[in-house]
């Protein structure tokens, strides 16, 4: 019996670990396009970029772990095609590996900036460890950094750049950073946070082009301003790495479409992590979650499913961020248009609060900022309960959450 895992990110590495933990003693091949053993990406824009975490701290397992657990770790190996009818996967080296079950954990890739000059040296993206090294090398006192995109990655890099004393200009086409994810009230908290830390945040502003300028680059923004930059860091979103699955004829719905047991449309092929668009049994819709906790939990769930266990993946999406002294955790699923009210509980201006996204009186998502004594668990209970809530009582911090 051979289990092949394509993609050595968090989802793939956790799947390999789970196969062994569940007692499976057949062959496991982990095919990794990158040359590093599987690692977690959140430190790349936080502790590792800030210089407080060692490189090795990001690794899912020490490199010896794979041999110790008889996992055939193929680094620098890219799967180029898949043959579902023959149960074979082809690598760029020309090798074909036959599988009994296969997991696609190919993650996602940054969307490129589509303007003239975007291919100049010094226009950087952040997805892999070497990207973090490149960005770290250009952050420093007196440096000028332009960030394109006020999403999670852009904002975390802005915070890191300010930490090193670089001058930061951040361009965001929307009226607020994170506006689509968080709505105006909470998004304003992030805009204020960055401005207070000296970021020149330009909202409603896109990029016209990037040019060579002085010793480095210059970004011409949509208002016609020319901003000198030692480096431009682009964070304009990601797309799921579906090429191999798509070419093999698997059903694609934004990501690789899987059922609640993480099975794709092809026999014996599963998908997990950023690349998987999974039917969520509670939300009753297919969702693709581009977050750490989803890779952490879905990889193991897919492994159990591959072993023939009854698996229903029903975890609520969860994510977090750290920027300066702001820590945040968010749970649930509240895409734009799905909620009709945001209730704030606590001190928004003081950046210590909980927020709930309500649809028809029920909380479909909730978060907290810097409320670590309570953490995310009580918020999760409120969201998971699916109960109708009294919004006035919910907003009143003197009413305990359990009593709302």
Ligand X SMILES: Cc1cc2nc3c(=O)[nH]c(=O)nc-3n(C[C@H](O)[C@H](O)[C@H](O)COP(=O)(O)OP(=O)(O)OC[C@H]3O[C@@H](n4cnc5c(N)ncnc54)[C@H](O)[C@@H]3O)c2cc1C
CB of 319 to ligand X, least distance (A): 4
How far is Cα 21 from Cα 270, in angstroms, rounded to an integer? 19
Give the residue with the Cβ less far from ligand X, 292 or 356.
Answer: 292
Pick between residue 229 and residue 233 the one whose CB is nearest to ligand X: 233
Number of residues that bind ligand X (CB under 6 A): 36
Q: Within 13 Å and on the Cβ side, how many CA atoms surround 131?
A: 20
**Strand, helix or coil at 77?**
coil
User: Would you say 45 or 205 has its CB closer to ligand X?
Assistant: 45
Interface with ligand X (CB under 6 A), residue from 15, 31, 138, 158: 31
Decide if residue 15 touches ligand X (CB under 6 A). Answer: no
Q: Give the 3-state secondary structure of residue 374.
A: coil
H helix runs in 110-218, sequence order: 129-138, 152-163, 179-182, 184-196
Q: Find the binder of ligand X among 3, 5, 6, 266 (CB under 6 A).
A: 6
CA distance 404 to 384: 14
- Least gap, CB of 363 to ligand X (angstroms): 20
CB-CB contact of 122 with 231 (8 Å): yes
Minimum CB separation from ligand X for residue 69, in Å? Answer: 18
Of 234, 244, 278, 394, which one interacts with ligand X (CB under 6 A)?
244
Q: Does 60 bind ligand X (CB under 6 A)?
A: no
Phi, psi angles (nearest 5°) of residue 65: -55, -35
Instruction: Map residues 282-321 to x or -, x wherever contact with ligand X holds by CB under 6 A.
Output: --------xxxx-x-----------------------xxx
Q: Which stretch binds ligand X (CB under 6 A): 41-49, 257-265, 338-346, 366-374?
A: 41-49
| 246 contacts: CB under 8 Å, gap ≥ 6 | 252
* Residue closer to ligand X, measured from CB, 179 or 321: 321
Which one, 107 or 332, has the nearer CB to ligand X? Answer: 107
Q: The sheet that has 27-31: what strands, in order across it?
A: 71-74, 27-31, 2-6, 101-104, 269-271
Contact at 8 Å (CB) between 193 and 108? no
Could you say which of 20, 27, 69, 78 contacts ligand X (CB under 6 A)? 78
CA–CA distances in Å: residue 45 to residues 67, 182, 208, 249, 308: 29, 20, 26, 35, 37
User: Per-residue DSSP letters for 146-172?
Assistant: EEE--SHHHHHHHHHHHHTT-EEEEEE
Q: For ligand X, which is the closer residue by CB, 126 or 220?
A: 126
Question: Is the separation of the CB atoms in 286 and 253 below 8 Å?
Answer: yes
Q: Which is nearer to ligand X, 15 or 394 (CB)?
A: 15
Per CB under 6 A, which of residues 90..129 are in contact with ligand X?
A: 105-108, 126-127
The number of beta carbons lying within 10 Å of the beta carbon of residue 281 is: 12
Footprint of ligand X on 318-347 (CB under 6 A): 319-321
* H or E element at residue 221: strand 216-221
Neighbours of 335 (CB within 10 A): 13
Query: Which is nearer to ligand X, 66 or 205 (by Cβ)?
Result: 66
Among the listed residues 16, 58, 138, 153, the single contact to ligand X using CB under 6 A: 153
CB of 44 to ligand X, least distance (A): 4
Q: How far is the CB of 295 from ligand X (least distance, A)?
A: 3
From the CB of 22, what's the least distance to ligand X, in Å? 19
Spatial contact of 194 and 207, defined as CB atoms under 8 Å apart: no
Which is closer to ligand X, CB of 7 or CB of 332? 7
Can residue 42 be called a binding residue for ligand X (CB under 6 A)?
A: yes
We find the least distance from the C-beta atom of residue 318 to ligand X, in angstroms, to be: 7
Binding residues among 372-401 for ligand X as defined by CB under 6 A: none
- We find the least distance from the C-beta atom of residue 374 to ligand X, in angstroms, to be 20
Strand order in the sheet with 326-332: 318-323, 326-332, 362-369, 352-359, 341-347
* CA 195/CA 203 separation, integer angstroms: 12
Q: Which is nearer to ligand X, 320 or 324 (CB)?
A: 320
Given the rule CB under 6 A, which residues bind ligand X?
6-12, 31-34, 41-42, 44-45, 78-79, 105-108, 126-127, 153, 241, 244, 273-274, 290-293, 295, 319-321
């Amino acid at each position: 019996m051979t289990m092949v895992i394509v993609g050595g990110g968090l989802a793939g590495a956790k799947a390999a670990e789970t196969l062994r933990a569940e007692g499976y003693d057949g062959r496991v091949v982990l095919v990794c396009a990158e040359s590093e053993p599987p690692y977690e990406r959140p430190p790349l824009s936080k502790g590792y970029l800030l210089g407080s975490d060692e490189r090795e701290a990001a690794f899912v397992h020490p490199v010896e772990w794979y041999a110790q657990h008889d996992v055939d770790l193929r680094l620098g190996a890219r799967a180029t095609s898949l043959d579902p009818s023959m149960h074979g996967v082809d690598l760029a080296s020309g090798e074909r590996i036959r599988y009994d079950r296969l997991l696609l954990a190919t993650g996602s890739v940054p969307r490129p900036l589509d303007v003239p000059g975007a291919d100049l040296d010094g226009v950087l993206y952040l997805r892999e460890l070497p990207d973090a090294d490149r960005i770290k090398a250009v952050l420093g006192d007196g440096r000028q950094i332009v960030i394109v995109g006020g999403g999670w990655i852009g904002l975390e890099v802005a915070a890191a750049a300010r930490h090193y004393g670089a001058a930061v200009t951040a361009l965001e086409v929307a009226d607020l950073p994170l506006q689509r994810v968080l709505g105006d009230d909470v998004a304003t908290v992030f805009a204020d946070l960055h401005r207070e830390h000296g970021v020149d945040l330009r909202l409603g502003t896109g990029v016209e082009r990037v040019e060579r300028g002085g010793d480095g680059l210059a970004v011409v923004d949509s208002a016609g301003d020319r901003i000198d930059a030692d480096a431009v860091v682009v964070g304009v979103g990601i797309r799921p790495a579906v090429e191999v699955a798509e070419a093999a004829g698997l059903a694609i719905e934004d990501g690789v479409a899987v059922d609640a047991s993480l099975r794709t449309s092809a026999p014996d092929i599963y998908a997990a992590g950023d690349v998987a668009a999974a039917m969520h049994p509670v939300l009753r819709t297919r969702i693709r979650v581009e977050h750490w906790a989803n890779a952490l939990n879905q990889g193991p769930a897919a492994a159990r499913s591959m072993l023939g266990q009854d698996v229903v993946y029903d975890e609520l999406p969860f994510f977090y961020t750290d920027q300066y002294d702001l820590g945040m955790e968010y749970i649930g699923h509240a895409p734009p248009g799905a909620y009709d009210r945001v209730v704030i509980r606590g001190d928004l201006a003081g950046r210590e609060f909980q927020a709930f996204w309500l649809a028809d009186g029920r909380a479909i998502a909730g978060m907290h900022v810097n409320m670590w004594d309570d953490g995310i668990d009580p918020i999760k209970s409120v969201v998971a309960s699916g109960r109708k809530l009294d919004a006035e009582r919910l907003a009143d911090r003197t009413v305990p959450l359990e009593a709302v």
